[in-house]
Chain A
Amino acid sequence: MSRADALPAEGSHAGRTPGPLWSLGLFRSELVITLRRWRTLALLGVLAVVPVLVGIAVKIETRGGSSVGHRGGDGPAFISQVTNNGLFLVFAALAATLPFFLPMAVGVIAGDSIAGEANAGTLRYLLVAPAGRTRLLLAKYTTTLVFCLLAALVVAVSALAVGALLFPLGDLTTISGTRISLADGLGRALLIALVVAASLVGVAALGLFVSTLTGSGIAAMATTVGLLITVQILDQIPQLDALGPYFFSHYWLSFADLMRDPVQWDDLQRNLGLQALYAAVFGSAAWARFAGKDITA
């Protein structure tokens, strides 16, 4: 403990004016910290493994030249096309992970965002730093959205790699029956990954809101994932058809419409609109809750 190494001279104590871009430091720190958590890497790892399993399963099942998806159930969308063109594994893997794996991963990250900091006690130190409640919430939500994008891209890239390795690549046939080039197909794959990422915006906002309600990261994660499952079950009940269009998962699989020629935008737009609505409603709720909350943790 030496006095010689005093803090760098900064003139006076008072009146530091923040630089215009310094505020981004919190977001960057948030992103780096999220990606350094073992849990985040594990989630991304699981997401990367799903396309590998799907690819291998299809390869084994079609070894004798038979086609998939015509015995028993249909399996995930696009799966019957995978043997003809490895690129379809990207669509099949996204269709397989979107109902559960992807939103679960997002729910874990979003649910932990505020509650996890409260649980560790680090929230009070961030707030007296002072991070600012609105700024912290924005940094948390933005980081969760970046994770959504990253998660969708991890699935897509892993599927593309496995698809290219196990199956032929080439021109593909759209759902409408027209032929498009591989380059066009890759472009649509990227677009689909982006739409899938955007489909998770609602779950992310819901998770953030739940996260402001409790001081336990685990409870927030469990609640978010529980809500996710509940909503998907409710969406399957015919008697609740009237509510269907308001469930955040209702239009998720509309990304398949991007494989039509021409693209059918109706459900895609409804999906994106619904996600924006969820983001607005639960984002505001999270802010209203967090801005006035007594931090006792």
Chain B
Amino acid sequence: MGPVSAAETEVGGVDDPVIHTRALTKRYRGGQLAVDALDLSVPAGSVFGFLGPNGSGKTTTIRMLMGLIEPTSGAARLLGHPMPRAARTVLPQVGALIEGPALYGFLSGRDNLLRYDAADPTADPRTRRARVAAALQRVGLTAAAGKKARAYSLGMKQRLGLASALLQPRRLLVLDEPTNGLDPQGMREIRALIRELAADGTTVFLSSHLLDEIEQVCSHAAVMAQGRLVVQGPVAELAARARGRLVVTTPDTSEAARVLKEQGVADVVVTEEQVSGEPPEREPAELNAALVASGVRVRGFGVERASLEDAFVALTGEGFDVAG
């Protein structure tokens, strides 16, 4: 393992996006447009959440990024190199978990990793056993390493898949639903691992349907719907886009609802002791003054911060499957 030449590290520069696509499009042979003119930009060092309902083109995008599927048109660059042309130079620096783990059931967990490591021509066979042992340790599978993979639980398989992405130091990790099948404790461990990897400078591209997961670990996010990119940016900005809801706590709910409608509040919902709605583009204090002037006894008045889920629903117009 010689020293890395300056030219190689400088390719693309440190601040250039780690993943960059331009009008990336995939139309399957049946004519179905899976990904439509996608312009994605994943900044170096980010933990990038990739969101979208099922069938929105997330997996097709990931497969194009990893060189498994040829784009119909457009271009994708990974670590500054064009894909799939530069697969041989780029992919050794990329760890991936794509659509769940796939294992050789008749091999032990350790032998599965040895197999995948042998497939990488840049992996040094002299350090193979040590690297496999370290990867197993990192995902907490050391004790089960000798067991046949077919006897693994879904969670253990998921961990082994993650371990195969960690066989080498990586500049980018592409993780498709990494906490799928894990119990809450396992999820926490994997999220901690992801933060740890990100702290080491690895860019993590994380697709997930768990919005709280994205909110917990991601610095950036992109939302896809029906093959198109709806929005991308820092998570804080995305959440800020969805306007918060005005919530008034009062015993005089019907009177409060009438006043709020008069003042231009849309989508007014009355529940026991509470009236909520979408605030108009005005100073909220004016609304409060109007309520008090009409004799409404206001016990609480405020705007609730929107969650990423609200942002997501607002952006895609679809509900989202949020697992507890």
Q: Distance in Å from the Cβ of A62 to the closest Cβ of chain B?
A: 43
Known contacts A16-B123, A25-B118, then 4 further A-B pairs from the complex at CB < 8 Å, ordered by chain A residue: A5-B134, A5-B137, A16-B168, A26-B119
Contact B134 A7 (CB under 8 A): yes
Inter-chain contact A130/B92, CB cutoff 8 Å? yes
Nearest A residue to B193, CB-CB: A1
Do B8 and A15 touch (CB < 8 A)?
A: yes
Please give me the residue from chain A that is nearest to B166 by CB atom: A7
Knowing A5-B137, A7-B169, A16-B92, the reply to whether A128 touches B125 (Cβ < 8 A) is: no
Which residues from chain A contact B106 at a C-beta distance below 8 Å? 36-38
A99-140: CB near B (< 8 Å → 1, else 0) gives 000000000000000000000111011111111100110000
Does chain B have a CB within 8 A of A289?
A: no
B1 touches A128 (CB 8 A): no
Chain B, range 121-166, C-beta contacts under 8 Å to A = 121-125, 127, 130-131, 134-135, 137-140, 164, 166
Contact B63 A296 (CB under 8 A): yes
B125 touches A25 (CB 8 A): yes
Q: A135: nearest residue on chain B (CB-CB)?
A: B121
Contact residues of A between 119 and 170, Cβ < 8 Å to B = 120-122, 124-132, 135-136
Chain B residue with Cβ nearest A122: B102
Chain B 161-218 interface residues, beta-carbon cutoff 8 Å to A? 164, 166-171, 189, 192-193, 196
Check if A15 sits within 8 Å of B5, measured CB to CB.
yes
* Structural contact, A18 and B121, CB atoms closer than 8 A: yes
On chain B, the residues within 8 Å of A126 by CB distance are 116, 119
* A residues lining the B interface (CB < 8 Å): 1-3, 5-8, 10-19, 22-23, 25-26, 28-29, 33, 36-38, 120-122, 124-132, 135-136, 292, 294-296
Q: Which chain A residues lie closer than 8 Å to B93 at the CB level? A: 13-14
Q: Are B91 and A129 in contact (CB under 8 A)?
A: yes
**Cβ–Cβ contact B92 & A122, under 8 A:** no
Q: Quote the shortest CB–CB distance from A132 to chain B (angstroms).
A: 6
Chain B nearest Cβ from A20, distance in angstroms: 10
**Are A132 and B196 CB-contacts (below 8 A) given A5-B137, A19-B124, A29-B114?**
no
Q: Which A residue's beta carbon lies closest to that of B3?
A: A11
**B104 in contact with A128 (CB, 8 Å):** no
26 contacts between A and B (CB under 8 A): A1-B139, A1-B189, A2-B137, A5-B134, A6-B138, A8-B130, A10-B1, A11-B1, A12-B4, A13-B169, A14-B9, A14-B171, A25-B118, A25-B119, A29-B118, A37-B106, A121-B99, A121-B102, A125-B102, A125-B116, A127-B66, A128-B98, A130-B87, A131-B120, A132-B88, A292-B70
Distance of A189 from chain B, by nearest CB (Å):
35
Partner of A128, one of B68, B115, B127: B68
Evaluate contact between B168 and A295: CB separation under 8 angstroms: no
In contact, A3 and B69 (Cβ under 8 angstroms): no
How distant is the Cα of A5 from the Cα of B70 in the complex, in angstroms?
Answer: 38
Are B92's CB and A124's CB within 8 A?
no
Given contacts A22-B125, A128-B98, contact A29 B115 (CB under 8 A): yes
User: A129 is contacted by which of B119, B135, B166 (Cβ under 8 Å)?
Assistant: B119
Q: How far is the CB of A72 from chain B (nearest CB, A)?
A: 45
Contact of B2 with A17 in the complex, beta carbons under 8 Å: yes
Tell me the interface secondary structure of chain A in the complex: loop
Which one of A6, A12, A128, A129 has the highest number of Cβ atoms from chain B below 10 Å of its Cβ? A128
| Chain B contacts for A22, CB-based, 8 A | 121-125
Q: Is B67 an interface residue (CB 8 A)?
A: yes
Q: Is the CB of A128 within 8 A of B91?
A: yes
Residues of B within 8 A of A131 (CB): 119-121
A52 CB to closest chain B CB (Å) equals 27
Beta-carbon nearest neighbor of A19 in chain B: B124
Q: Name the CB-closest residue of B to A5.
A: B137
Contact status A7-B135, CB under 8 Å: yes
Q: Is the CB of A23 within 8 A of B121?
A: yes
CB-CB nearest in chain A for B164: A125
Instruction: For residue A263, give the distance in angstroms from its CB to the closest CB of chain B.
Output: 42
A18–B118 Cα distance when bound, in Å, is 12
Instruction: Answer whether residue B221 sits at the interface, using C-beta atoms and an 8 A cutoff.
Output: no
**CA A82 to CA B231, docked complex, whole Å:** 79
B107 contacts the other chain (Cβ, under 8 Å)?
yes
Closest approach, in angstroms, between the C-beta of B148 and any C-beta of chain A? 11
Q: Is B103 on the interface with A (CB-CB < 8 A)?
A: yes
Whether a CB of chain A sits under 8 angstroms from the CB of B224 is: no
Question: A16-B92, A17-B2 are known contacts. Are A294 and B69 too (CB-CB below 8 A)?
Answer: yes
Closest to B7 in A: A15
Q: Would you give the shortest CB distance from B193 to chain A, in whole angstroms?
A: 6
Instruction: Closest A residue to B137 by CB, please name it.
Output: A5
Complexed CA–CA distance, A14 and B201 (Å)? 13
- A130 with B91: in contact, given A10-B1, A13-B170, A295-B68 (CB under 8 Å)? yes
User: Quick check: is B96 within 8 A (CB to CB) of the other chain?
Assistant: yes
When distances are taken between beta carbons in the complex, the residues of chain A under 8 Å from B75 are none
